[in-house]
Amino acid sequence: MHASDSLTYVLLVHAAPGGGSGARGALRFARALLARGHRLVRVFFYREGVHTGNRLMVPGGQESGLAADWSALSREAGFDLVLCVGAAERRGVLDAAGARRHGRAGDSLAEGFRIAGLGQLIDAAVDADRVVCFGD
């Protein structure tokens, strides 16, 4: 593939692990686009997608290990995994700083993910060739 054919992608994940194909489908899509030589800059988890980054979640079945799979792929391919702070807090996904800030007894953010504002979605989309969303 010529460099000029390589596209820059941002993925937006709205689907929670379990109960639908959107969550696992996003990971398969990420692997496929990388295998074809495209570039993945960021995977942004919004709405119910923030549950992907909850290390306390036990979805069972095929969706078990989804967070670990994302984390491994992101390290390997050099893109970041971001949960929207507002959506995450509303759903009980907090990093250590957020847990302290809100007086919660523990944090729930899975390794390899970080929590940031919605601006990180728009900022990445502004420079992307493609934004693909996965709902359910």
Residue numbers of the site for another protein (CB under 8 A)? 7, 12, 14-15, 22, 46-47, 86-87, 90, 117-119, 121-123, 125-136
Dihedral of the CA atoms 16, 21, 26, 30 (nearest 10)? 150
Minimum CB distance to another protein, residue 8 (Å): 9
Return the ∠ at Cα 73 (arms to 37 and 76), rounded to 5°.
70
Residues 49 and 42 sit within 8 Å (Cβ to Cβ): no
Minimum CB distance to another protein, residue 72 (Å): 25
Helix (H, G, I), strand (E, B) or coil at 68: helix
> Residues 16, 27, 83, 84: which is the catalytic one?
84
Nearer to another protein among residue 99 and residue 132 (C-beta): 132
Catalytic residues: 84
